[in-house]
């Protein structure tokens, strides 16, 4: 099993920094999501871990052994890791078994051993019985699972996944989330999962690293990142909710003439993160005008405008017509650090 440590890691292309001063310790068997908007440096960070890029500054270590710094560069094939890209990169002229067996080439394994390892890997991705199929005859989801099996077949202790679900439809994504969780449990590998989709990160990872413009914004469990985002960027990127101006004194915030309980400290003017599930209809409270209503199946996602001009999103059990003036009780808010 393998831990990954990144120390003050930076990668610059020309004079643009893609990854800037990233320090992370990913314990053996951890499942980490690298989360952030497009262009924030996720793929570059993954390629630095894999050995496809050399650091401009800082270092990459596995189990305390330096894999890369300015003078060291262990090539990818010597790092004992598996990597799955968004584009599956399968050999179209080979069948499923040959694709999955490819990384075992040149290892001096017997035919029976190879067949048994391929069968195990296909079973882990729920593709038993597909060994003889042509890759061309598979759906997108099945191809992605072949790519995953190919990465599992060598029994690597590090698995790197770069937006593996980006090309799949919503139902396949849900099924794949279960497969990733299952693989993590069965292999005990250290997994790094790159995504721009916060719901995937929240569902799968034990630790989320939020990146913005090459820098780490926050590291924490999904619950911490959701409940206590460290900046307005994280608050806006993870989960739904809105940022609202308020005045804070003694753990109570005032918005207009309503008082609401908050978590997090400070005094004076603050920005509050208010999640939709913390907003309720009440007989008295914060006055707000309904602007937009969306039926989500479970409830009505309702956007309301406050007197200050700030908007609030609420998950309400009933549909209110746009233009209705409602009274809101807010049961929880987070003071976003500045
Ligand atoms: N090989 C490269 N040459 C020049 N710029 C690059 C290269 N790879 C990535 N970049 C730049 O680095 C930044 C981060 O890219 P990337 O790591 O692909 O982000 P993400 O995967 O989060 O979308 C982007 O501005 C991108 O244009
Ligand atoms: Mg990318």
Ligand 1 centre distance from Cα of residue 187 (Å):
31
The pLDDT assigned to 45 comes to 98
Ligand 1 probe mutation, 9, 11, 12, 13, most atoms within 8 A of CB: 13
Question: Which one of 14, 39, 43 would you pick to mutate in the ligand 1 pocket, going by the greatest count of ligand atoms within 8 A of its CB?
Answer: 39
Which token pair is 297? 């199946």
pLDDT at residue 166 is higher than 80? yes
pLDDT given at position 25? 97
Rounded CA-CA distance 259/23 in Å is 40
Mean pLDDT of the 82-101 span: 89
Closest residue to atom 26 of ligand 1, CA basis: 39
Average pLDDT over residues 175-196: 92
* Alpha-carbon gap, residue 320 to 293, rounded angstroms: 7
What distance in angstroms lies between residue 258's CA and the mean position of ligand 2's atoms?
Answer: 44
By the 8 A CB rule, do 205 and 190 touch? no
User: Distance (Å, rounded) from C-alpha 153 to C-alpha 7?
Assistant: 30
Give per-residue burial for 25-56: e unless 16+ CB within 10 Å, then b.
ebeebbbbbbbbeeebbbbbbbbbbbbebebb
| Nearest to 119, CA basis, from 109, 129, 110 | 129
In angstroms, what is the span from residue 322 Cα to ligand 1's centroid? 43
pLDDT score for 122: 95
| Angle, in degrees to the nearest 10, between helices 140-152 and 170-187 | 10
Ligand 1 pocket test: which of 44, 45, 193 has the largest number of ligand atoms within 8 Å of its C-beta?
A: 44
Q: What share of the chain is helix, strand, coil (3-state, %, to 5)?
A: 25, 40, 35
Dihedral of the alpha carbons of 177, 183, 184, 186, in degrees to the nearest 10: 140
> How remote is the CA of residue 252 from the centroid of ligand 2, in Å?
41
Q: Which numbered ligand comes closest to the C-alpha of 163? A: 2
pLDDT in tens, 110-120: 999 999 999 99
Closest by Cα among 51, 49, 3, 52 to 22:
49
Which domains can be identified in the chain, with CATH numbers? 4-233 (3.40.50.300), 240-335 (no CATH)
CB atoms within 10 A of CB 335: 19
Ligand nearest to the CA of 18: 1
Which ligand ends up closest to the CA of 211? 1
Distance 38 CA to ligand 2 centre (A): 7
- Any residues with Cβ below 6 Å from ligand 1, and which? 13, 18, 36, 38-44
- Which atom, in ligand 1's list, is nearest to the CA of 44? 17
Q: How far is the CA of 70 from the centre of ligand 2 (A)?
A: 23
Q: What letter would DSSP give residue 239?
A: S
Using one digit for the tens of pLDDT, what is the confidence trace for 44-68?
A: 999 999 999 999 999 999 999 999 9
Q: Of 224, 228, 225, 160, which is closest to residue 195 (Cα–Cα)?
A: 160
Of all ligands present, the nearest one to the C-alpha of 42 is: 1
pLDDT tens-digit map of 196-211: 999 999 999 999 999 9
Both tokens of 195, joined, read 């995504």
Gap from CA of 231 to ligand 1 centroid (Å): 23
- Which residue from 296, 295, 292 is spatially nearest to 321, judged by alpha carbons? 292
37 CA to centre of ligand 2 in angstroms: 9
Q: How confident is the model at residue 13 (pLDDT cuts 50, 70, 90)?
A: very high
Task: Tell me the average pLDDT across 210-228.
Answer: 97
H/E element, 44: helix 42-50
- Residues 63-76 have a mean pLDDT of 97
Q: How far apart are CA 243 and CA 274, in angstroms?
A: 6
CA-nearest residue, atom 18 of ligand 1: 43
In the structure, what pLDDT confidence band is assigned to residue 86 with cuts at 50, 70 and 90?
confident
Sign of CA dihedral 255, 308, 264, 236: positive
Identify the nearest ligand to the CA of 37 by its number.
1
**What is the residue with the minimal CA distance to atom 2 of ligand 1?**
13
Supply 296's token pair.
Answer: 């989500």
**pLDDT at 194 (0 to 100):** 96
Ligand 1 atom at minimal distance to the Cα of residue 36: 22
Q: Which atom of ligand 1 is nearest to the CA of 19?
A: 14
Cβ neighbours of residue 230 closer than 8 Å, sequence gap 6 or more:
217, 218, 337
């Amino acid at each position: 099993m393998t831990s990954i440590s990144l120390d003050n890691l930076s990668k610059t292309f020309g004079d643009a920094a893609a990854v800037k001063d990233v320090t992370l310790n990913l314990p053996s068997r951890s499942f980490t999501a690298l989360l952030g908007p497009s262009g924030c440096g996720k793929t570059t960070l993954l390629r630095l871990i894999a050995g496809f890029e050399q650091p401009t500054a800082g270092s990459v270590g596995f189990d305390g052994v330096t894999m890369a710094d300015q003078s060291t560069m262990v090539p990818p094939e010597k790092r004992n890791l598996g990597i799955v890209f968004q584009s599956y990169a399968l050999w179209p002229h080979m069948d499923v078994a040959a694709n999955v067996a490819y990384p075992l080439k040149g290892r001096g394994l017997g035919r029976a051993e190879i067949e048994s390892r391929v069968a195990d890997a296909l079973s882990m991705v729920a593709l038993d019985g597909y060994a003889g199929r042509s890759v061309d005859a598979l759906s997108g989801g099945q191809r992605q699972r072949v790519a995953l099996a190919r990465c599992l077949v060598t029994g690597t202790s590090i698995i790197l996944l770069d937006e593996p679900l980006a090309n799949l439809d919503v139902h396949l994504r849900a099924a794949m989330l279960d497969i990733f969780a299952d693989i993590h449990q069965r292999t005990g590998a250290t997994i790094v999962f790159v995504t721009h989709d916060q719901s995937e990160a929240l569902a799968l990872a034990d630790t989320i690293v939020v990146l913005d413009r090459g820098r780490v914004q926050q590291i924490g469990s999904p619950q911490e990142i959701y409940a206590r985002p460290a900046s307005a960027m994280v608050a806006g990127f993870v989960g739904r909710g809105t940022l609202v101006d308020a005045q804070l004194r003694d753990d109570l915030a005032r918005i207009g003439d309503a008082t609401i309980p908050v978590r997090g400290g400070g005094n004076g003017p603050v920005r509050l993160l208010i999640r939709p599930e913390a907003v309720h209809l009440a007989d008295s409270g914060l006055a707000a005008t309904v602007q937009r209503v969306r039926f989500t199946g479970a409830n009505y996602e309702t956007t309301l405008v406050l007197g200050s001009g700030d908007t609030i999103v609420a998950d309400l059990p009933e549909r209110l017509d746009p233009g209705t003036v409602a009274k809101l009780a807010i049961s929880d808010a987070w003071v976003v650090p500045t």
